[in-house]
Structure 1
Amino acid sequence: MSKPVSRNLLTRWSRSEDSLVRVFRNSSWLFSAKGLGAILSIFYLAILTRTLGVAGFGEFMVIVGAVQVLTAVLKLQTWQAVVQFGVPFLLAGQHRAFRKLSAQNFWIEFLGGLAACAALWLMLPYGASQFGWSDPTVNAIMGYGVIVFLSVRSTPIGILRAQDRFGGNAFGDAIIPVVRFAGALVLVATLPSMTGFLIVWGLSEFISFVVMWLMVWRRKETDHPLRNASATPAEPPSRKEFLAFLLFTNLTYLVSVIRERLVVVMVGFFVGPAAAGLFRLADQIANSLNRLAEVFARPLFAELSRLFAIGQTKELRTLFWRSLRVSAISGGVLFLGLLLLGKNIISLISGPDYLAAFPILLLLGAATIISLAGLGLEPLLQAAGRARNALVARVAGLVALGLLMAVLLPRFGTLGAAWVMLISAILTSIILFISSRSAIRQPRQRLPKSPAP
């Protein structure tokens, strides 16, 4: 009896069109990649911290963080635009319009990458004099940056998510931790160095970029699984609407990256590489929780975009409140685990030299979990065409972060920086919640509803 029941449940799970079930189903694909990444990252993080030492690890993370900040500033993220404006085309079967939108986003992302390469080339001499980098290290940093900047990954991610192909997306994401883990093992067996780790990190980005596009080209024409044959043809977005959405989503992303990465760079510059190493280790462990949030938030954004496109207001509200409850409960459980096991996790991964990172870990973990508890807020605003509101919340949190950092970082060092991250997260979540309540009460429908058959 148990086998037919289990088969029945699996069939219902795989075919259910309940919005929250669809989000969890798509999340399961991403979770498989993120889960693999989380496990492998523990091993390559252990190799990094133990072979480079506290100061060397901090220096390495300053480099990676600076490249990521430059990416956020100049290389536009396009996946949200592909999903937001591409899903209505796929629902109506307008594949040519979808391909045109995808090509447009490809060139936007690629040209931004070229600008980022030029900026890194101009900034490298200053970083080399600050940290005393050798010529091979400078060349490795430039090579790593060029690969990251010119690997157009955001556009294929958007294409796969718009087409509801989260399995392909998960496979491309999983490549990065696999390559980093394998490369770290090779370095341990040979001669581990900062230059070697930069080469491995760049190689992981390049291979993931190639795999993502192979997954896209594997099936050029595809019907959206929820395509409605009688759906009203979708109108392309106006240039003003498209650019406004791209601008606000990218500014929101930029603020998020600055909050997460620039702080590490600032700690490295103003307190020292060793302090940056402790801060980044705690941040890396806390960010493993953030990856869980992304696993749920990205399919949630795609599903909310679909519901807005077809005008399902009641189902939209239900999905929003259900997702909020799930994420709040998950956040509480995760923080309890961090409180009980945090010291053991740090000691296991990096050794007793890094135990000073535990108080920082608790504060950064609390900040991440507060964001996790409200992970449906920002996707709702973006899907509702209110990306500006999400940006306002992020900018307010960033302004608070900057002001408090100027006061607390010189006085309290890394612990002060961690408190600033927590206060900023609380402020941002409050503003996002207020804006989301308004959006859920009066949703703006971007497209006309499909006529009844």
Structure 2
Amino acid sequence: MSENRLSSWFSSEDSLVRVFRNSSWLFSAKGIGAILSIFYLAILTRTLGVAGFGEFMIIVGAVQVLSAVLKLQTWQAVVQFGVPYLLAGQHQAFRKLSAQSFWIELTGGLIACATLWLLLPYGATQFGWNEPVEQAVMGYGLIVFLAVRSTPTGILRAQDRFGGNAFGDAIIPVIRFTGALALFLTRPSMTGFLIVWGLSEFVSFMVMWLMVWRRQEQNQSLRSATSLPVPAPGRREFAAFLLFTNLAYLISVIRERLVVVIVGFFVGPAAAGLFRLADQIANSLNRLAEVFARPLFSELSRLFAIGQSRKSRALFWRSLRVSALSGGVLFLGLLLLGEQIISLISGPEYLAAFPLLLLLGAATIISLAGLGLEPLLQAAGRARNALLIRLVGLIALGLLMAFSLPRFGTIGAAWAMLISAILTSIILLASSRAVISKPRQPVRKLR
């Protein structure tokens, strides 16, 4: 009986089962990352101190924001336009799309390198970095910017090869943990941690491309629904989709990273350290959401590509129920165990982060409860709608922070994150219901 169930799990073509099956690969990577991140986060917080940890996170956050601004993420475009090619057996067209995405991502990375070189002296003066730290920041930035990881991620996901994708993602926390432990046993420093973080990005980049090169042909499960040729997307269509998905990604990075930089700038590195610790723990929940949301986007793209509007509608509502239930359980866990988690990871001096953890955790869980909303809009060709909604949420966050941060400090910033998350989720739900209530034929044009 168990063998039959296992066989049906791996062979089932039910949409939600496919999403969970692909999620299981990513969950293995994220699970490893979540466990190891607890250890290297403990090493970071305990060796650098509250202020030093805050300063480290300001550096990492600033580099990530600059990467999001200038280095385009291409994986969603590869999935959106590549899946129809694979379904039709047009492998040459898929390779051309992949090459185009590679050069787009690399060009953005080169621009980001030049921008960091120009801005770094100002940042060093503002935060008082010495020359070794300044050089480490530059080295870390170069690796992050030049590591073309989004394109191979898209190739693997379009081919339904989430196992290879998971392996490439798992490399990052493994190297960070190993490097942080080595530093802890020898001579921990901010420069050393930046080197380790950069090395983890570089090795992951190499592994991801190795996974792509090992097997050029698409996964057997994607061979074959139709032999009809798929027209290439127009330049404007491709550019518009790339623009909208990247702006939506930029907004999410700003919410996750730039807020920490702003808190550090206006309140101080120690406050930024407490805020980032709470945000880091809360974002571990967000990583779990990504485990489900990314395969969901790929599956919805596949269903829209073959015109299965009824199945896409059913998948959406089923995923919404699963994610809402999961969110409630996770928040209860934070409420009961949050203080113990903080104390265990970083020590009692970080317990002031507990109220922040509850607010930021609630904001993340609200987003988790509606994790299928944005992938639905993007897969349905409504990337512009998803972007506008995220933009409204970001504007609301900016206005709320402008009011609350000077008056209430870090707790005010956390409340601003929660309120903006609620507003964004409500608007996303309304827009997604409109898409579901009016099913479309295979979508190629952005609306």
Match of 1:142 in 2: 138
* Deviation per residue, 1:216-268 (Å, 9 max, x gap): 00001235513325432111101111001000000000011111110000000
Give the TM-score normalised by the residue count of structure 1. 0.97
Match of 1:444 among 427, 440, 445: 440
Match of 1:451 in 2: none
Cα pair 2:51 2:269 within 8 Å, conserved: yes
* 215-224 vs 75-84, greater mean Cα deviation: 215-224
* Deviation per residue, 1:342-363 (Å, 9 max, x gap): 0000000000000000000000
Match of 1:387 among 383, 402, 405: 383
Match of 1:94 among 87, 90, 93: 90
Match of 1:18 in 2: 14
Match of 1:62 among 45, 55, 58: 58
Match of 1:37 among 33, 38, 57: 33
Amino acid at match of 1:207: V
By how many angstroms is 1:439 displaced? 1.0
Cα pair 1:156 1:212 within 8 Å, conserved: yes
Count of matched residue pairs: 444
Match of 1:428 among 424, 429, 434: 424
By how many angstroms is 1:445 displaced? 2.9
Cα pair 1:68 1:257 within 8 Å, conserved: yes
Amino acid at match of 1:124: L
Structure 2 stretches of 5 or more lacking a match?
A: none
* 2:176 is the alignment partner of 1:180: yes
By how many angstroms is 1:331 displaced? 0.1
Task: Identify if the C-alpha distance between structure 1 residues 391 and 230 changes in structure 2 by more than 3 Å, giving closer, same or farther.
Answer: closer
RMSD (Å) for aligned C-alpha atoms: 0.9
Give the TM-score normalised by the residue count of structure 2. 0.98
Task: Identify if the C-alpha distance between structure 1 residues 223 and 26 changes in structure 2 by more than 3 Å, giving closer, same or farther.
Answer: closer
Match of 2:309 among 285, 297, 313: 313
Match of 1:245 among 241, 248, 257: 241
Match of 2:196 in 1: 200
Cα pair 1:282 1:358 within 8 Å, conserved: yes
Match runs of 1:396-411 below 5 Å: 396-411=392-407
Match of 1:323 in 2: 319
% identical equivalent positions: 81
Structure 1 stretches of 5 or more lacking a match?
A: 449-453
Match of 1:335 in 2: 331
Cα pair 1:310 1:447 within 8 Å, conserved: no
Match of 1:209 in 2: 205
By how many angstroms is 1:130 displaced? 1.3
Match runs of 1:267-278 below 5 Å: 267-278=263-274
* Deviation per residue, 1:91-115 (Å, 9 max, x gap): 0110000000000000000000011
Amino acid at match of 2:428: L
Match of 2:284 in 1: 288
By how many angstroms is 1:443 displaced? 3.2
* Deviation per residue, 1:380-424 (Å, 9 max, x gap): 000000001111110001001111111100110000000000001
Match of 1:354 in 2: 350
* 2:291 is the alignment partner of 1:298: no
